[in-house]
Structures are given as C-alpha cells and as structure tokens.
Structure 1
Amino acid sequence: MQIDFHHGVTYVCARLAGFEHQEADIVAHSAQYVDDSTQAGLIRFDNGAMFDRISSAHKMLDYRNFKELANCKVWIPFHFLPGNGGLPAGQDPPGTFIEKLICRPNSPVAQTMVRECIEQRYRSYGLHRLGITLHVFADTWAHQGFAGVSHEINSARDLVDGNDRPDQSLMNRLKGFFIGGALPLGHGTVLSNPDKPYLRWGYTNGRGEKISRDNPKDYLAAANELCKAMQRYRLGNADADVPGLPAADKDKIAMLFETTLGEGDCRHRQWIDHIAQGSFSFGPAQVSYIANGYGSWKHKALGIVGEGDGQRPALGHRIESRLPYSPQFLDSNWKLFHDALRAHHFYVIHDLLPQYGICVA
C-alpha cells in the first residue's frame, strides 16, 4: 500500500473509530512514516546525550535493489508479516519453511500483533506504535501471497488485467527490472500492482497457481478491520465486539477506492481534499503529511533538514554530528515514533513470530 492508504485512509478510519483530530493525526502520520524512515544509526547531542534508531524501510523501496531489500530486519517485521499459512500458533502449514513466511491477510499472526499493541497502549509511544502496527496490518491484505525474503515463491508470470487479458504493458516494464539469477523479493515481480486500490488483476505465481486479485475488495476489508482495531484500542479491550466502519462512510470509502486514480501521491492529495471538504461523517478536517525537511517530525525534534544534515546516510552507519540538545526532544513525535519502531521490531522478531515456530533473526 502507498501513502494514500497508509496516511489518508488510516486518518479517516481513526476518526471514524472515535479518535479526535490530534490523536488520529499521530496514528496516520506514524503509519505512513514506516515507509519514509530510511535512516538508522546513532545521534550524538552537544551535551553528551545520545539516541539510537533503527530504520523501517529502504531508500525508494526500490524493487531492483536486491542487496538492500533482502533484509528481514526491515521487510518481515514492517511490510511482509509472515502468515503461518493462516493457521494459529502451534500449527504448521504443509510444505517447507517458506510456507510459514508468506504474508496472509488478517492472519492469526497479524491479529496477535494487534492484540499486543492494544495491551501496550499505556506506553508513552502508544499511538505511534498503533500507527506502525496498522501499517503492517494493512499490508497483510496488499502483500498477501508474497514473502519478505528473496525466494522463487515471489515469482510471477502471465500477468493479466481485470478482464483476464494479458497485461503486456506491465510485462514490458518488468523486462528492465530483473537480470541474471536474482530471486525476486516481496511483490517485486508485479511492481506496484498490489499497492493500487482501484486495480483488479491476476498472475501465475511461483507454484504455477493462477491468482486473481481484487484490490478494491481487499482494501475495503483492510479499512474496516483497521477501524475495528482502533475501536478496540480506544476501549482497551482486544476482544471487544465493535462495529467497524459506519455504513455510509464504508460506502464512500468503497467508491473512492474504485475512482481515485493516478500515482500514490496524486491519490493521496485527493483523499486529503475529501477530508478537508467534509466528505465523511466526522466533518471537515485539515490534514497534511511532511515526510522530511522543514516542518517534518525530524526537523521539529532535531532542528535538521534534508540528507545533508551532517549524517552518514548509509544504512547502519553512525551519526557523528553533535546536535543541539533540547529537553523537548524526549517528548517529540519523532523520538516517540522511533521508540515505538524499536518496540514493534523486538516484539515481532523475538516474541510474536517464535510463537508460530518462525525464527528469522
């Protein structure tokens, strides 16, 4: 999924779940920032204080960059949550280990992840972790059938459109993406098809199975489940019987998934316009998202902008700059987001996945 869903739709679902603007803004911003937090390493302040952070994405999410993208520390916990074959803890799907790693929509693994987030809602970074969790949760619909490792299971051929006709345009674009014996990672072999809410399409997977995808249907199911998760979060009860999206708003969202076209940023602007115009039952609201630069969470927390801010941009390298320290840094959204990012990563890798017999680090 792209920024139109992770930010725009998440904000809408948060408001419809009962969150007021300020809290919904934090949740939605955090959900999208998972795709934009590409730098890791140590920050040194001028008073001797330090802060270490991890990344949750790689530069450009470039499907061609196999060396960087083949990193389960990023792709598995943040984008391609293993589905364990859709089975509960203690059960294994037939086949080899890769069957456990394939992403499945709303899997027991994903539901357990949401439960933990709700149970940890009292943390200072609770809302930020909710946004991160919802990003991963939503992606289980978009990324279903693919795995966050380089494996032939991710191979796709014979791509077709919604009328089962060959998608020659996409197949031509793919010719320039994959070379040699490199194995595909995630949904690289179908590019951004899973990330477009309006698309109906299909392909033949690495097992020779014909797969039909209905993105509008999947995205609507994801939005409804996100709303339910946030309703349960607000109640502090992961088992609460909640309604999900109100009927009229659900119909509006379904219509927008079908009719909001263009690339991700273009679709995002259209969602922001609908929110501003009061297209949903919570009324009009002014929402914006700044990934980096002036006005971004990072700028407000550290007073730095852009890539040339004294950092070493390579993944995992430490930051040597001695930045001015402010006590307000401890309560900044940027710092709390990174606290939540690390908490989510540790839980998924070391607690959640082992419950399902999955060891990836």
Structure 2
Amino acid sequence: MQIDFHHGVTYVCARLAGFEHAAANIVAYCAQYVDDSISAGLIRFDNGAMFNRISSAHKMLDYRNFRELANSRVWIPFHFLPGNGGLPAGQDPEGSFVDKLICRPNSPVAQAMVQECIRHRHKPYGLYRLGITLHVYADTWAHQGFAGVNHRINCANDLVDSNNIPDQSLINRLQSFFIGEALPLGHGSVLGNPDKPFLRWGYTNGRGEKVVRDNPRDFLEAADQMYQAMQRFRAADPEAPVSGLPEPDRSLIAHMLSSITDIKGEMRHQTWLTAIAAGKFSFGPAKISYAAKGRGSWKYQALRVEEGCDRNDTKIPYSPDFLSSHWKLFHDALKAHHFFIIHELLPQYGICVA
C-alpha cells in the first residue's frame, strides 16, 4: 500500500474508531513513516549521549535495487509478514519452508501481532507501535501471495487487467526494468499493482496458479479490520467484541478507494486530505499533513538538523526534549515491534528468519 492508504485511510479509521485528532495523527504518521524510515545506526549527541535506530524501509522502494531490498530484517517484519499458510501456531502448510513465509491477509500471525500491540498499549510508545502494527497489518491484504524473500514463488506471468485482457501497460513497464534475479523479491514482478487501491487485475504465479486480485475489495476489508483493531486498542482488550465500519463512512471509503485512480500515490493522498479537510466523514473537518523529512518532519523536530547531517560521524546538539519526541518514540516502537516479530512471534509458527 502507499501513502494514500497508510496515512489518509489510517487517519480516517482512527477518528471513526474514537481517537481524537492528535492521537489519530500520531497513528497515521507512524503508519506511513514505516515506508520512509530508511536510516539505521547511531545518533551521536554533543554531550556524549547516543541513540541507536533501525530502519523499516530501504532507500529506494524500487525492485531493480536488489542489493538494497534483499534484507529480510526489513522486508519480513515490516512489509511481508509471513502467513504460515493461514494456519494457527503448531500447524504447518503443505510444501516447503517458503510456504510458511508467504503473506496471507489477516492470518493468525497477523492477528497475534495486533493482539500483542494492544496488550502493550500502556507503554510510552504504545500509540506509535499501533501505527507501525497497522501498516504491517494492512499490507497483509496488499501483499498477499508474495513473500519477502528472493524466491520463484514471487514470479508472475500472464498479467491481465480487470477484463482478463493482457495488461500491456504493465508488461511494457516491466520490459524497461532490469529483468533478473531481483524481480522475484516481494511483488517486484508485478511492480506496484498490489499497492494501488483502485486496481482489479490478475496474474499467473510462479507455480502456474492463476490469481485474481480485487484491490478495492481487499483494501476495504483491510480498513474495516484496522477500524476494529483500533476500537480494541482503545478498549484495552485485544478480544473485545466490536462492530465494523459505520455507514455512511464505509460506503464513502469504498467509493474513494475505487474511484481515485491517479497512478501516483501522492496524488491520491492529496485527494484524501482534501476530503478530510472538507468534513466528508462523520467526525467532521480536520487538517492533517505529512512530511517524511526536512522542516516539518518528526525527524527535524527531534534532531533540529537538516537531512544528511545525522550520519554516524556527526555530533548533534542534544536537547532533553529528544527523549519525548515523536521521532524517538517511533523508533522505540519500531525496535519493540521488530524484536517481537522476529524473536517471539514467528518462532511460535516454526519460522526462523534473520
């Protein structure tokens, strides 16, 4: 998914679930920043203090850049959560190990991830972890059928559009890419098709199985399940009985997912921000924005330095406010999420990854 869903739709669902503007803004910012937090390593301050950060994305979300993307420490815990064949812990899907790694929508693994996030809502970074968790949770719908490793299961052929006609536009774009071992990583062989909410399309996967995808339907289901997860978070009960998206908001979300057809996510995102500002949803008008870097970004507010001035060999002026900054709390949550997924959750399903 792209910024229109991770930021715009997440904010809408958060407000509908009962979060006030400030909290919903934090959740939505974190959900998108997972795709934009590309730097790792130490931050060194001029008073001797240090802070270690990890990345949740790569410099280029570009499937030609194989060396950058072939990193399961990023791809698996933050973008292609293994689905274990849709089976609960203690059961294994038929096939090989890669069948455990294939992403499945709303899998037991994904549900357990959400429940753990809710159980730790009291942490100082609890709200930030919710945004990160919702990013990964939503991606289980968009990235279903693909795995965050370099494997033939990710190959796709016979790409078709909603009318089952060969998608010549995508085929032409693929021909301009480097065709080689990079493409079987994630959904590289279908480029951005899984991330665009308005597309209905299909392909034949690496095992010769025909797959039909209905992104508007899947994205609406993801939004509905996110909304339910947020209600449970607010109730401090990971198993609380909750309702689905209310009408007419659900219908409006469904309409916007399918009717906003700009190819670029940033353009679709602006349409969502305009609708939110105009009060199209039942929570009334609200003004939100997002800046991944530079002035106005969480990173700048925390470090007060321009982009590129936070390298490991650079000493940054320290402020006590850093400890309570949005950026620092996001990274605290990022590390907590990463540790839980890799070292606690996936091993319950017999999955061991780097």
Q: Fold match, TM over 0.5?
A: yes
Identity across matched positions, percent: 70
Q: Over residues 328-352 of structure 1, what are the superposed CA-to-partner deviations in whole Å (9 max), with x where a residue is unaligned? A: 0000000000000000000000000
State the 1:136 CA deviation.
0.1
1:95 and 2:95 aligned: yes
Task: Give the drift of 1:322.
Answer: 1.0
Does the C-alpha gap of structure 1 residues 201 and 114 become closer, same or farther in structure 2, counting only changes over 3 Å? Answer: same
2:349 maps to which of 341, 350, 356? 356
Matches within 5 A, 1:84-233: 84-182=84-182, 184-233=184-233
User: Deviation string for 1:201-227 (max 9, x for gaps)?
Assistant: 000000000000000000000000000
- Output the CA distance in 1 between the equivalents of 2:139 and 2:256: 19
Q: Do the aligned residues in 2 keep the contact of 1:29 with 1:131 (CA within 8 Å)?
A: yes
CA contact (8 A) 2:106 2:140 kept: yes
**Alignment pair present for 1:323 and 2:323:** no
**More displaced, 101-110 or 297-306?**
297-306
Q: Given the two structures, how large is their TM-score scaled by the length of structure 2?
A: 0.99
- CA-to-aligned-CA distance 1:299-344 (integer Å, 9 cap, x gap): 000001223x152xxxxxxx11111101100000000000000000
Q: 1:335 aligns with which of 318, 324, 328?
A: 328
Alignment of 1:44-55 (within 5 A): 44-55=44-55
For the residue of structure 2 that corresponds to 1:247, the secondary structure is coil
Report whether the alignment pairs 1:275 with 2:276: yes
Partner of 1:76 in structure 2? 76
The residue identity in structure 2 corresponding to 1:154 is: N
Contact 2:103 2:144 in 1 (8 A): yes
Which position in structure 2 is the counterpart of 1:4?
A: 4
CA contact (8 A) 2:63 2:183 kept: no
Q: Is the 8 A contact 1:231 1:244 kept in 2?
A: no
Counterpart Cα distance in 2 of 1:278 and 1:81: 34
- What is the distance in 2 between the residues matched to 1:347 and 1:237? 19
Q: Which residue does the alignment assign to 2:242?
A: 242
Separation in 2, partners of 1:39, 1:93: 35
Residue 244 (structure 1) shift: 2.3
1-structure distance, mates of 2:183, 2:203: 17
Give the ranges of 4+ consecutive aligned residues of structure 1 lying more than 2 Å apart after TM superposition. 178-183
Amino acid at match of 1:219: F
For 1:305 and 1:332, the matched residues in 2 are separated by 17
* 2:339 corresponds to which of 322, 342, 346: 346
Partner AA of 2:289 in structure 1: S
- Residue 29 (1) aligns with residue 61 (2): no
Give the gaps of 5 or more residues in structure 2: none
Tell me the C-alpha RMSD between the 2 structures.
0.8
Deviations 1:147-187 (A, max 9, x none): 00000000000000000000011111111223344451000
